[in-house]
Amino acid sequence: MRILLLGAPGAGKGTQAQKLMADRGLPQISTGDLLRGAVAAGSALGRKAKAAMDAGELVSDEIVLGIIRERLAEGDTANGFILDGFPRNVAQAEALEDVLGEVGQPLDAAILLDVDFDILMKRLTGRRTCSKTGKLLNIHFSPQAELDECIANGGELLQRPDDNEQTIANRLEVYRSQTEPLIEYYRERDKLRVIDAEGEVAAVHKRLLEAVDD
Interacting residue ranges for ligand AP5, rule: CB under 6 A: 7, 9-15, 31-32, 35, 52-53, 56-59, 64, 85-86, 88, 92, 123-124, 126-127, 136-138, 141-142, 162, 171, 199, 201, 204
Q: Please, where are the H alpha helices in the chain? A: 13-24, 31-41, 44-55, 61-72, 90-102, 120-125, 144-152, 165-174, 181-188, 201-213
Phi-psi group of 35: left, alpha or beta (phi > 0 → left; psi -120 to 50 → alpha; rest → beta)? alpha
Query: From the candidates 2, 19, 171, 193, which is the catalytic residue?
Result: 171
Task: Indicate if 69 belongs to the active site.
Answer: no
Comparison of 46 and 104: residue with beta carbon closer to ligand AP5:
46
Nearest approach, Cβ of 78 to ligand AP5 (angstroms)? 22
Comparison of 93 and 104: residue with beta carbon closer to ligand AP5:
93
140 Cβ neighbours under 8 A, 6+ residues apart: 122, 123, 126
Nearest approach, Cβ of 194 to ligand AP5 (angstroms)? 15
Catalytic residues: 13, 88, 127, 160, 171
